[in-house]
Amino acid sequence: MSKTITIDGTNIPFTEGQTIMDAALAAKVYIPHLCHNPEFKPHGSCKLCTVNINGRAVSACTMPASEGTVVENKTEELNNERRAIVQMLFVEGNHLCPTCEKSGNCQLQAVAYCLDMMTPHYNHFYPPREVDASHPDVFLDRNRCILCELCVRASRDVDGKNVFGLSGRGIGSRLVVNSTSGRLGDSTFAFTDKAAQVCPTGAILIKRQGFSVPIGSRIYDHKPICQVEIEGKGGEHE
């Protein structure tokens, strides 16, 4: 007998050690997320994957599945709260979709569409953030960074380079680069690194590839992220 949890009334099998997110993705059930990527150790910081268990809000990406757990995922209330979190991510940074090269391939934008976000709602913070174009092959634009630490994890755990880290605190948290000057160009970073491929937004962009896939033909232009995440990307690519 395999063990199961239920998500919104549907039985979902899981194996010992899987999180609620793991079990959901394996069963093709979408739980919105940004800082989670199944290839890396769960992080639990964006809080988009918050689900309810016995009336308690938990992060699906870090909560281990256990027999008989009843999970609420696709409720109006949770989606309202998730939308508020996406809006928070939009206003704390400087996200200008119409001029962003990542538009259409951006997970932040895609999740916003998926959650019916029509306006940023809150007032923009317009924070001054540093752009780093020192690297020959990669742009680092902190204006679009959502502090998910996927690049930190990829560089540390896959590339074995530890190129990125986080400094500052609270709203002053920022991505820092591991080189004496603090600039990406002086680090060991290469555009072939895993860390160059995992940014969910346009904070890390590979140079000289801009608009090679036209707007309108990109990953999330025709298929919402909730579908892409469970069917695989397929078709057009980044």
Partner 1 sequence: MEPCEFPHIEDQLAPILGRHGADATRLLQILRDVQDHFHFIPPEAIVCLASHLNLSRAEVEGVAGFYSFLSLTPQGEYRVLFSDNITDNMLGKTELMQYFCNKLWVEPGKVSEDNLVSVDSTSCTGMCDQGPAALVNGWPLTNLDNNRLDLISELIRIKKPVAEWPEMLFEVRDNIRRPGMLLGDEFEPGAGIRAMLARGAEATLKEVDASNLRGRGGAGFKTASKWTFCHAAIAEEEGGMICDVGGNPERFIVCNADEGEPGTFKDRVLLSSHADLVFEGMTVGARVVGARKGFLYLRGEYRYLLKPLEAVLARRRAEGLLGENILGEPGFAFDIEIHLGAGAYICGEESALIESLEGKRGRPRNRPPFPVTKGYMGRPTVVDNVETFACAARIAEKGGAWFAAMGTAQSTGTKILSISGDCARPGIYEYPFGVTVETILRDCGAEDAHAVQVSGPSGTLVSWQEFGRRIAFEDLPTAGAFMVFHRKREMFAAAHNFTHFFAHESCGFCTPCRVGTQLQKRIMDKIAGGHGTPADLEELKHVGHILGTMSHCGLGHTAANPVLDTLKKFPGTFERKLKALSFEPAFDLDGALQTARSITGRDDEWAHLL
In whole angstroms, give the CA distance from residue 106 to residue 89.
13
Minimum Å gap between C-beta 206 and partner 1 is: 21
- Under the criterion CB under 8 A, does residue 165 sit at the interface with partner 1? yes
Binding track, positions 48-87, relative to partner 1; x by CB under 8 A:
x-x------x-x--x-x----------------x--xx--
Task: Give the binding range for partner 1 (CB under 8 A) out of 37-45, 134-142, 203-211, 226-234.
Answer: 37-45
Contacts of 209 (CB under 8 A, 6+ apart): none
Question: Which residue's entry shows tokens 């938990």?
Answer: 58
Minimal distance, residue 58 CB to partner 1, in Å: 10
Residue 50 CB contacts under 8 Å (≥ 6 apart), including other chains: 57, 58, 59, 60, 78, 81, 82
How many other CB atoms are found less than 10 A from the CB of residue 113? 14
Judged by beta carbon, residue 11 or residue 188, the one nearer partner 1 is: 188
Among 7, 100, 163, 196, binds partner 1 (CB under 8 A): 163
For residue 223, which amino acid is it? Answer: K
In angstroms, rounded to a whole number, what is the distance separating the alpha carbons of residues 149 and 155? 10
Out of 153, 178, 200, 201, the residue judged to bind partner 1 by CB under 8 A: 178
Rounded Cα–Cα distance for residues 81 and 85 (Å) = 6
DSSP reduced 3-state for 143: helix
In whole angstroms, the minimum distance from the beta carbon of 92 to partner 1 comes to 5
Min dist. Cβ of residue 56 to partner 1 (A):
9
Tokens of 111: 């999740």
Tell me which of 60, 111, 112, 147 binds partner 1, using CB under 8 A.
147
* Three-class SS state of 33: coil
Site residue total, partner 1 (CB under 8 A) = 43
- Give the footprint of partner 1 on residues 113-142 (CB under 8 A): 122-123, 125
Question: Residue 29 and residue 205: Cα distance in Å, rounded?
Answer: 30
Residues that bind partner 1 (CB under 8 A): 42, 44-48, 50, 57, 59, 62, 64, 81, 84-85, 88-89, 91-92, 122-123, 125, 146-147, 162-174, 176-182
